[in-house]
Amino acid sequence: MSSSRSVAVVTLGCTRNEVDSEELAGRLAAEGWTLVEDASEADVAVVNTCGFVEQAKKDSIDALLEANDLKRTGRTRKVVAVGCMAERYGQQLAAELPEADAVLGFDSYADMSGHLQRILAGERPASHVPRDRRTLLPLAPAARHTAGQGVALPGHQQPTPEPTVPLAEVAPASGPRVVRARLDGRPWAPLKIASGCDRRCAFCAIPMFRGSFVSRRPEEILAEAAWLGERGVKEVFLVSENTTSYGKDLGDLRLIDALLPELAATPGVERVRVSYLQPAEIRPDLLDAMARTPGVAPYFDISFQHASGPLLRRMRRFGDRASFLALLDQVRERLPEAGVRTNVIVGFPGETEDDLAELTAFLEEARLDVVGVFGYSDEDGTEAEGFGGKLDAATVAERVARVGALVEELTAQRAEERIGSVVDVLVEGVDLDDDEPRLVGRAGQQGPDVDGVTYLVTDDGGMPQLAPGDIVAAEVVATEGVDLVAVPLPRPGTRRAVGGPAHPEEG
């Protein structure tokens, strides 16, 4: 294939999708495609869609339509839909969106180069036929790694052809060969440790199109972490649909506890962040490992979803306000300065005002740093789609607004509690959105993209002389909503270990 053929990978949705995009980009680069950032300068725009909730689907369709417009104004000749929405809807999406030249599911990823070549040559491949991907793997987790070797698992670095070109971005690292291409210059990167989910939450369609839970083997994760460290990544962000299940299909649920110190010791990597913990599956041993391992961020991303016990049972989940508050006490006993984020759903079928009051009482007591508030909407194929007791759209919207306003107030108060504390900040760049440019990064308590940021200033309000990728201890001096304003500590020896106590004397 001519090396003049170029491709742009456009990513929507979560950080798990970002990993999938970078693996796809790595596969294409290994087959001789030129990767470009701007879709208008690419022969093919590959849009990695999100199919999680209604707004994400609309965003994905908008992105596909925008890419199609480039056929008139740019170099773009073809637009291809991949990702979760393409996997979930396949032929239906292709019928409703003829502007896409192809709709390809996860099974197409292994030969994406071949598919794109044929599409550029004028072929229109058959659109993906959706199926419940849970049926592709054995019910018993321990049997999945042998019986499911032919099942596509995006982001898992499954066997690929040897590269046809010696590109630096797809060169082998030590250990298993890594095929991935960085699509941005950020000093942090997501690292997938598992895919799929075995839970059966009544509102969630993810298991149907992502399949059953499958862990990546530790040696593969460590090899990819080393590859990222070699390329300037200072923070690896461990992503999955359910990190607390990691290792169950490999015969050891405590495997993540042992993996964290090895990841934190990876050359070049200075911080490891863990995401998406299921409260019903959090073990004291895991809390100990996260709290005591130097280099692990003091950050707990816990998926509560609600706090009313009866409503959580209806959601096919566990827990209630008292058990969740007790769990948060366990976290803060180990790490008093921990950052905690969660998501909640309001307006679930059958939610009463008493249920909502239980949720708001929990939020008022929990002292959470970030809370994503989502209004319930029916998702195709989920159990809740068939539930009675549906609330009308106006009621759901009113409850979202009510809880959202409370959360905005509470999280701003939580940020103010951090004034005077010392946080470790990963410098990410310069924020140009304000009148005056400001150096911006994230404290250990802040996850990427949606959890707020930390602005770094000097004592006189100037911009510190720091570069993206630096991690610096800084004292929080002010807040702006959930965002922190901090001054880097001037004296050597005052910086604490990442994830450790807030001040040297507290050790």
Burial of 455 (0-12, 13-18, 19+ CB in 10 A): buried
pLDDT over 50 at 402, yes or no:
yes
CB 81 within 8 A of CB 100: yes
Residue 404, Cα to own-chain centre: how many angstroms?
22
Which pair of tokens denotes residue 74?
Answer: 């740019």
The full DSSP string for 103-124 is E--GGGGGGHHHHHHHHHTT--
Backbone angles phi, psi at 392, to 5 degrees: -70, 160
- Ranges in the chain annotated CATH 2.40.50.140: 421-488
Q: Is the pLDDT of residue 336 over 80?
A: yes
Contact by Cβ (8 Å): 200, 207: yes
CB atoms within 10 A of CB 421: 17
d(CA 380, CA 53): 10
Which strand (E) or helix (H) includes residue 38?
none
Is residue 48 exposed (0-12), middle (13-18) or buried (19+ Cβ within 10 Å)?
A: buried
Helices vs. strands in the chain: H and E counts, helices first: 14, 18
Q: How many CA atoms lie within 13 A of 278 on its CB side?
A: 17
Is the pLDDT confidence value at 173 over 60?
no
Q: Tell me the DSSP string of 22-59.
A: HHHHHHHHHTTPEE-S-GGG-SEEEEEE--SSHHHHHH
Residue 457 main-chain phi, psi, to 5 deg:
-135, 160
Q: Which residues line the annotated binding site? A: 14, 50, 84, 197, 201, 204
Q: Which of 483, 486, 422, 417 is nearest to 451 (CA)?
A: 483
Q: Looking up tokens 């036929």, which residue turns up?
A: 129
What pLDDT is recorded for position 152?
Answer: 87
Q: Burial letters for 107-138: b for 16+ Cβ neighbours within 10 Å, e otherwise? A: bbbbbbbebbbebbeeeeeebbebeebbebbe
pLDDT higher than threshold 60 for residue 153: yes
Where, residue-wise, is CATH 3.40.50.12160 in the chain?
6-131
CA 436 to chain centre: 30
**For the residues 143-162, what does the mean pLDDT come to?**
75
Model pLDDT, residue 168 = 45
Q: How far apart are the first and last CA of the chain?
A: 59
The pair of structure tokens assigned to 244 is 């607390």
Residue 382 contacts residue 202 (beta carbons within 8 Å): yes
Which residue would you say has higher pLDDT here, 157 or 319? Answer: 319
Which residue type sits at 383? E
Among the listed residues 334, 488, 333, 478, the one whose alpha carbon sits nearest the alpha carbon of residue 424 = 488
pLDDT at 277 over 70: yes
**DSSP label of 63:** H
Mean pLDDT of 231-250: 96
Q: Write out the CATH class of domain 421-488.
A: mainly beta
pLDDT of residue 499: 38
Enumerate the known binding-site residues for [4Fe-4S] cluster: 14, 50, 84, 197, 201, 204
pLDDT at residue 433, as a whole number: 76
Q: Yes or no: say if 44 and 116 are a contact pair by the CB < 8 Å rule.
A: yes
Question: Please, is 171 exposed, middle or buried when counting C-beta atoms within 10 Å of its C-beta (0-12, 13-18, 19+)?
Answer: middle
The C-alpha torsion from 256 through 260 and 262 to 263, rounded to 10°, is 110
Cα Rg of the chain (Å, integer):
23
Q: What is the average pLDDT across 292-301? A: 97
- The rounded distance, in Å, linking the Cα atoms of 221 and 192 is 8
Q: Name which CATH class applies to 176-417.
A: alpha beta
Architecture of domain 6-131: 3-Layer(aba) Sandwich (3.40)
For residue range 432-460, list pLDDT tens digits in order. 877 788 999 999 999 998 889 999 999 88
**Is residue 135 within 8 Å of residue 196, measured between CB atoms?**
no
Q: Is the pTM of this model over 0.75?
A: yes
In total, the chain counts a number of residues equal to 507
Distances (CA, A) of 250 to 199, 220, 255: 18, 13, 8
Overall average pLDDT of the 389-411 stretch? 98
Residue 61 pLDDT > 60: yes
Which of 120, 40, 110, 50 lies closest to 78 in space, CA to CA? 120
Integer CA distances (angstroms), 357 to 311, 362, 366, 432, in order: 12, 9, 14, 40
pLDDT score of 502 more than 70: no
* pLDDT tens digits, 3-27: 579 999 999 988 999 999 999 999 9
Mean pLDDT over each residue of the chain, to the nearest integer = 90
Phi, psi (5° rounding) for residue 71?
Answer: -65, -25
Residue 248 DSSP symbol? G
Q: What is the pLDDT of residue 283?
A: 97
